[in-house]
Amino acid sequence: MNVKLFIFVVIVLAQLAVLYAADTPVQKPNILVILADDLGYADVGFNGCRDIPTPNLDQLARQGVRCTSGYVTHPFCSPTRAGLLTGLYQQRFGHENNPAWLPQSTVAGLPLSQTTLPQVLKRAGYVTGCVGKWHLGAHPQFHPNRRGFDEYFGLLGGGHVYTPGARGSVEYQIPMDRNGRPEPLAEYLTTVLGREGSSFITRHKGEPWFLYLAFNAPHTPLQVADPLMGRVKHITDQTRRGYAGLIVGLDDAVGVVMDALKESGQVDNTLVFFLSDNGGPIGVTHSDNTPLRGAKGDVFEGGIRVPFVVSWPGRLPQRKDYAQPVISLDVFASAVALAGANVPAGHTLEGKNIVPYLAGEQTGIPHGRLFWRAGGGAKFAVREGDWKLVGWENSRTQLFNLAADVGESKDLAAARPEVLARLSQAYADWDKDNVAPLFESPQASRPKAVKKAPAK
């Protein structure tokens, strides 16, 4: 081949390569959100737990980024889920309490006016699935299939018995729901949810998908299958032992799901978020939020800072800690950015795409300030850098420096009045755009102390 012909062939091949690249769409990542329920900050191995084995969650943390200042938008259940699935502070639309199990109520649930993450991702070509705990309204209009999910299997209420035939309230004994049809619980619940999540992942290989896998473990009741209890028999505290058994079951189920990703060759193209919906209720399950102050229901760190991992081996570094504050609102913003999805006009997301920050591609911090409000303002908090403002009804507003005092034990309000004034004004400005709660939490949803673990 002469030189001129060789050069001509090289040019043609280069042009064809450019054209092929332009016509070949970038593969959209799968998005998997795994949500635990009432998991203590220190009750996973990757956050220092020593008495409860969590090998699968620890492996997930090793293959991704551990967000050591990872938050949720509320210190208890349903409001957090509303914020996660809308990408907005749920106080903006009045979802500030847990909805009662009221199938006749068109008010007690995630307002229909709000756009959800699965609705946005569906329009971007994603298959959307929800497995597990819903707790965003019992009326049919609130059903997951009507809020953007192509497929649903799980428990529609705020909790459920774990073992078939176990006793519980009406809400805890309703059948499982599969796309609007009742289905009896035939096996240990956490095992079932892990298998359903695995099935969704395997069935939709080859197409972009979003799976919201919301476990009810380790929320009460402390009903644990015998093999699981055998793996935590070294724990002498009976209540904590039951709670630990629920976590071991959760970890096993996460392992099944991650195995499905691996076996189907989807690990490198799947962005995984793992977090809890709030901090551990230490007086109820003897969970551990060390070194944080407070528990579920509090706007101290123990109620809102949670185990938080982001993994995407194809894009993010492994075995990395990220210390800057991130929040569950970032799930929505990250997902739509990576999916190339369009958010409806007027739905102004309050989270950030944190993937570039975690990947080290973007400097700075994702959030200048984060806010919390519970009980219509009875409790509130603001975090700005290392500073944390905490207030509640009938008590003096307090100020903490989390870098020096993560346990929030030293009130610096008197020593730093200028910071107190700045954060107090910031909260007042943020709160102007909030509305009053649309419904009240049921009495039964309030945590009650457990003297001993229920019988297995």
The tens-digit pLDDT sequence of the chain (456 residues) is 565 555 454 444 445 444 433 344 468 999 999 999 999 999 999 999 999 999 999 999 999 999 999 999 999 999 999 999 999 999 999 999 999 999 999 999 999 999 999 999 999 999 999 999 999 999 999 999 999 999 999 999 999 999 999 999 999 999 999 999 999 999 999 999 999 999 999 999 999 999 999 999 999 999 999 999 999 999 999 999 999 999 999 999 999 999 999 999 999 999 999 999 999 999 999 999 999 999 999 999 999 999 999 999 999 999 999 999 999 999 999 999 999 999 999 999 999 999 999 999 999 999 999 999 999 999 999 999 999 999 987 778 999 999 999 999 999 999 999 999 999 999 999 999 999 999 999 964 444 433 333 333
**What does the alpha-carbon distance between residue 404 and residue 396 come to, in Å, rounded to a whole number?**
21
**What does the alpha-carbon distance between residue 129 and residue 145 come to, in Å, rounded to a whole number?**
9
77 assigned to active site = yes
Residues 6 or more apart whose CB falls under 8 angstroms from that of 62 comprise 46, 318, 319
> What secondary structure letter does DSSP report for 141?
G
CATH number (3.40.50.150, 1.10.10.10, 3.30.1120.10, 3.30.70.260) of 370-431 reads: 3.30.1120.10
What local confidence, expressed as pLDDT, does residue 393 receive? 74
CA distances 12 to 1, 4, 18, 228, Å, are 15, 12, 10, 63
Q: What is the CATH number of domain 30-368?
A: 3.40.720.10
Taking a C-beta distance cutoff of 8 angstroms, is the pair 354, 334 a contact? yes
Return the sign of the alpha-carbon dihedral for residues 52, 55, 61, 62.
Answer: positive
What local confidence, expressed as pLDDT, does residue 394 receive? 72
What local confidence, expressed as pLDDT, does residue 447 receive? 40
Return the sign of the alpha-carbon dihedral for residues 230, 236, 240, 244.
Answer: negative
**Residue 155 class from Cβ within 10 Å (0-12 exposed, 13-18 middle, 19+ buried)?**
buried
Q: Give SS3 for 152.
A: strand
**What does the alpha-carbon distance between residue 434 and residue 95 come to, in Å, rounded to a whole number?**
10
What local confidence, expressed as pLDDT, does residue 396 receive? 85
**What does the alpha-carbon distance between residue 67 and residue 80 come to, in Å, rounded to a whole number?**
18
Neighbours of 175 (CB within 10 A): 13
Q: Write out the residue limits of the CATH 3.40.720.10 domain(s) in the chain.
A: 30-368
Instruction: Choose, from 74, 95, 135, 367, the residue flagged as catalytic.
Output: 135
**What does the alpha-carbon distance between residue 353 and residue 332 come to, in Å, rounded to a whole number?**
8
Q: Which residues are 321's β-sheet partners?
A: 66
Q: What is the pTM of this model?
A: 0.92
160 assigned to active site = no
**What does the alpha-carbon distance between residue 380 and residue 369 come to, in Å, rounded to a whole number?**
13
Residues 6 or more apart whose CB falls under 8 angstroms from that of 306 comprise 39, 41, 70, 71, 72, 275, 276, 277, 278, 279
Instruction: Choose, from 49, 67, 77, 130, the residue flagged as catalytic.
Output: 77
- Provide the CA 385 distance to its chain's centre, in angstroms: 22
- Provide the CA 434 distance to its chain's centre, in angstroms: 22
Q: Write out the residue limits of the CATH 3.30.1120.10 domain(s) in the chain.
A: 370-431
